[in-house]
Structure 1
Amino acid sequence: MADGQRTPRYDAAEACRALAAADPKLGALIERAGPYTLMLKSQHSPFDALLEAIVSQQLHGKAAMAILHKLLKLFGEIHPTPELLLLQPDDAMRAAGLSKNKMLALQDLARKTLDGTVPSLAAIRRLSDDEIVTRLCAVRGIGAWTVQMMLMFRLGRPDVLPLTDYGVRKGFALTFSRLPKSKPFDASMLADMKVMARRGERWRPWRSVAAWYMWRACDLAGKPFVPPPVA
C-alpha cells in the first residue's frame, strides 16, 4: 500500500451486494469487474487538499507536481499556513508558475480558511456531503466536481455520484445504453445526467461505489482506468 493510502471505512462487500440486488445490470458489471479496490489518499486538511487541487487544475501530473514543488519551496518545502500564503508576494508566486487566476484562487482559499468557510479536517468530518459542497464551492475556482473527488478519495464518503465526470458518464453509457457496436465511442454517446441521477437513486447509500464501477466499465471497454485527479 502506498504511503498514506487507506481503505474506506465502509463495508465494500456489503455495498456491492446491495447494489447488485438493487440493480441487476450494475450487479453484472460488478461481477465482471471484480472486487472494489478504491484507496483513499492522505488525510490532508481541506486547505492543503484544495491548494493542491487549484495548482493542478488543467495540468497533467508531472507539470502539476513541478509547479506544486516550486510553490512549496517558497515555504520551506512544506504546505504553508493560510496566513503565510497571504504574506507571499505575488511576484514570487507567479515565478513558481502560477497563473493570475490560480494565485487569486489560492488567496481566496486562504481567506476563506481563516474566516471559517473552509473547515478544519476535524470539523469537515462532522459535516454532511451537501454542506461540504456548499462551503468549499464558495472558494474561487473550486467547483462541485473537485469537492466530490475530495469526498470520495480523501474523506471516504460512500454516497457520492459525480454526474459531470466524463468517465462516470461514459461508463454509465457503456453499461446501461444501447450503443452502436460499429461506431467508436464519442462525446455524443455520453449518458444524460438526468437519466443517471434517476437511476442513481436506487444505488443509495452506495453511489460512490457505483461511480467507481462506472470508471471500471471504461477500463473493461478497452481503455485502462486512470483515476481522476484527486482534490
Structure 2
Amino acid sequence: MARYRRGFDTEAARTHLQRDRRLAPWLERIGPIPPDPRWKRGFDPVDALARSILYQQLSGKAAATITGRVEQAIGSGRLHADTLGRVDDATLRACGVSGNKILALRDLARREEDGAIPGPRRLAWMDEQAIVDALVAIRGIGRWTVEMMLMFRLGRPDVLPVDDLGIRKGLQVVDRLEQLPTPRETATRGERWGPWRTYAGLYLWRIADAASGKGGDKPTPRSQE
C-alpha cells in the first residue's frame, strides 16, 4: 500500500496538459497556477467537513457570518464533537443554522466519536475512492464536497469533479461545444489529462470564469477555500 503525499508537481502537470491542443492556448492565456499553500498546512478533516456543511447553499459572506456565530457560541474556532456538544440545537438555530444542517453536524459529531472519520495520518494511506466512500456516509456530505477536499486540502493530483457545473462549462468553452457536456462525457474527455486531472480542473474553473466575464485570474471560490 502506497502513502499519498499532499500536493503535486504543478510544472509536470502543466507540461502534460499542454499536449492537449484545445486546452494548451488557455494554459498560455491564464498562465501557470502555482501550488496551493494549503497542501503544506495542518489539516483537520472533521473541522473542514463541519465548515463545508455550514457553507452549503449559502453565499460566502452569509456562511462566514453564521460560522462566526457558531464559533462564538461554542467558545472555540475548532468545530468538533466536543465543542459542538457545548450547545443545544436551539442555540445553533439561533446562530442561523438550518434544521437539516444541525442534523448533519450532529451526525458528523457522532461519527467522529465512533472513530469513523479518518484522521490526516489515515487519509494519507487511503486512495481517492476509499476517502469518498468513507465520507459520503455522513449526512449532508456528498461526493462533490469530498472531491473539493481531495483537491484543495489533500492535494491529490488526479481528481476531476465531473458533476461540477463550472468544470463542465469550462470544457464546453475549451471544446467549443454547443451544449453543456454531460458528466459522463466530461469524464471520458478528462481521461487524456490523467494523472493530472486536478490541475486540469483548476484551469477549467478559470476558463469558465473568464468566459462569463468574471476574469480568469480570480477564480470563483469553491468549497474548502
Same fold per superposition (TM over 0.5):
yes
- Please state how far the C-alpha of 1:40 moved relative to its aligned partner: 4.5
Deviates more, 1:168-177 or 1:34-43: 34-43
Q: Distance in 2 between matches of 1:216 and 1:70?
A: 32
Superposed counterparts of 1:69-88, under 5 Å: 69-88=68-87
Indicate the percent of aligned positions where both proteins have the same amino acid.
Answer: 42
8 A contact 1:40–1:154 mirrored in 2: no
8 A contact 2:50–2:79 mirrored in 1: no
8 A contact 1:56–1:64 mirrored in 2: yes
Partner of 1:226: 220
Partner of 2:66: 67
User: Unpaired runs of 5+ in structure 1?
Assistant: 1-7, 180-188
Amino acid at match of 1:200: G
Q: Distance in 2 between matches of 1:226 and 1:128?
A: 27
Partner of 2:33: 36
- Please state how far the C-alpha of 1:131 moved relative to its aligned partner: 0.8
Where has structure 1 moved over 6 Å in runs of 4 or more?
none
User: Unpaired runs of 5+ in structure 2?
Assistant: 1-5
Q: Distance in 2 between matches of 1:62 and 1:93?
A: 18
Q: Distance in 2 between matches of 1:229 and 1:32?
A: 25
Question: Structure 1 residue 12 and structure 2 residue 3: aligned?
Answer: no
Superposed counterparts of 1:144-163, under 5 Å: 144-163=143-162
- Please state how far the C-alpha of 1:64 moved relative to its aligned partner: 0.5
CA RMSD of superposed structures (Å): 1.8
Amino acid at match of 2:15: R
Q: Distance in 2 between matches of 1:210 and 1:27?
A: 11
Deviates more, 1:33-42 or 1:51-60: 33-42
- Please state how far the C-alpha of 1:90 moved relative to its aligned partner: 1.4
- Please state how far the C-alpha of 1:87 moved relative to its aligned partner: 4.8
8 A contact 2:8–2:35 mirrored in 1: no
Partner of 2:196: 206
Question: Structure 1 residue 193 and structure 2 residue 183: aligned?
Answer: yes
* TM-superposition CA deviations, 1:188-214 (whole Å, max 9, x none): x32221111111111111000011111
Amino acid at match of 2:128: D
Q: Distance in 1 between matches of 2:177 and 2:189?
A: 16
Q: Secondary structure at the match of 1:25?
A: coil
8 A contact 2:136–2:143 mirrored in 1: yes
Partner of 2:3: none
TM score, norm. by length of structure 2: 0.88
- Please state how far the C-alpha of 1:150 moved relative to its aligned partner: 0.7
Q: Distance in 1 between matches of 2:80 and 2:205?
A: 35
Q: Secondary structure at the match of 1:59?
A: coil
Partner of 1:186: none
Partner of 1:165: 164
Partner of 1:184: none
8 A contact 2:171–2:204 mirrored in 1: yes
TM score, norm. by length of structure 1: 0.86
- Please state how far the C-alpha of 1:32 moved relative to its aligned partner: 2.2
Q: Distance in 2 between matches of 1:166 and 1:172?
A: 10
